[in-house]
Amino acid sequence: MRFMVFVRSPKPLAALHRDSLLRAGVLLDAGDLVPEAYGVSGYWLIDVRSREEAVERVRRIPLPACVVEIREVAVV
């Protein structure tokens, strides 16, 4: 299953913390998005077995003062 993880924070974090997901072999893509009024947003596209695994992998990453959203990606 593929999940898009959006991270909103005061500074760019998506590219900074992608190494742990890359080492685990689940990272498909990562990047930082254009800054907006609420801070910087970034994303990870990961491929894992379940939503629970996606949540667990994101919880292992130190993301202080961040808003995180995990959404399943429809694969057609």
pLDDT of residue 18: 76
Say what the pTM is: 0.81
Q: Which residues does residue 7 pair with via DSSP β-bridges, in sequence order? A: 42, 68
Each residue's pLDDT tens digit, 8-59: 877 766 566 778 888 889 999 988 777 666 567 888 999 999 999 999 999 9
Structural domain span for residue 19: 2-73
CATH number for 50: 3.30.70.1060
Q: Cα-flanking dihedrals φ and ψ of residue 7, to 5°?
A: -125, 120
Quote the number of domains for the chain.
Answer: 1
* Distance separating alpha carbons of residues 25 and 28, to the nearest angstrom: 8
| pLDDT value at 72 more than 80 | yes
- Locate 75 and state its tokens: 């694969």
pLDDT of residue 3: 96
Find the Cα–Cα–Cα–Cα dihedral 56, 57, 61, 64, rounded to 10°. Answer: -50
